[in-house]
């Protein structure tokens, strides 16, 4: 299996700063592999909310995650702070593939990188819907 190379910051358009937490470190002294996905979730949803596309409480359309993946290149540890960069790799009719990376403060190449696929659904029926215009308009610049 060919292992991907760490991407550099220039591969990403949007960066969301995240503060690490005491509990992020596991018994081996580094951020646990699980926690990176929490960084990913947080970065994309922060962007979508800040841009006025996603309304967690009342919006008619919400994003459900159908696939995720991550490669880990070097450890990150509390209390260092990080930035998550992301881009839109595929903008489908009702799904979006996000590619993301975790950068340690001041680092130019990714400590970890991954992806997740959101399917946008009607909040009530949970059936896929065409991506609303407000989502499309804030995601297209990242693709």
CA geometry: angle 107, 111, 113, nearest 5 deg = 125
Q: What burial class does residue 96 get, using C-beta atoms within 10 Å of its C-beta: 0-12 exposed, 13-18 middle, 19+ buried?
A: buried
| Cβ–Cβ < 8 Å for 140, 91 | yes
Of 7-15, 71-79, 99-107, 135-143: span binding a second copy (CB under 8 A): 71-79
CA torsion 84→90→95→100, rounded to 10°?
-10
DSSP label at residue 142: G
Q: Is 143 in the site for a second copy (CB under 8 A)?
A: no
- 69: contact with a second copy by CB under 8 A: yes
Residue 8 binds to a second copy (criterion: CB under 8 A):
no
5 touching a second copy, by CB under 8 A: no
Q: In this chain, which of 86, 98, 103, 116 binds a second copy, going by CB under 8 A?
A: 116
Instruction: Please tell me whether residue 29 binds a second copy under the rule CB under 8 A.
Output: yes
* Site of interaction with a second copy (CB under 8 A): 17-23, 25-29, 32-35, 37-39, 41-42, 45-46, 49-50, 56-57, 62, 64-72, 78-79, 116
């Amino acid at each position: 299996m060919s292992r991907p190379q760490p991407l550099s910051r220039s591969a990403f358009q949007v960066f969301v700063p995240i503060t690490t937490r005491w509990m992020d470190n596991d018994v081996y002294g580094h951020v646990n592999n699980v926690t990176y996905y929490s960084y990913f979730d947080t970065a994309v949803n922060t962007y979508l909310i800040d841009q006025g596309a996603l309304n967690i409480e009342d919006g008619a359309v919400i994003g459900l995650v159908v696939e995720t993946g991550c490669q880990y290149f070097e450890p990150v540890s509390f209390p260092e702070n990080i930035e998550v960069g992301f881009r839109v790799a595929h903008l489908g009719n009702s799904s979006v593939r996000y590619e993301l990376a975790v950068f340690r403060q001041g680092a130019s190449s990714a400590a970890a990188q991954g992806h997740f696929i959101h399917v946008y659904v009607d909040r009530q029926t949970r059936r896929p819907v065409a991506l609303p215009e407000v989502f499309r308009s804030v995601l297209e610049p990242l693709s």
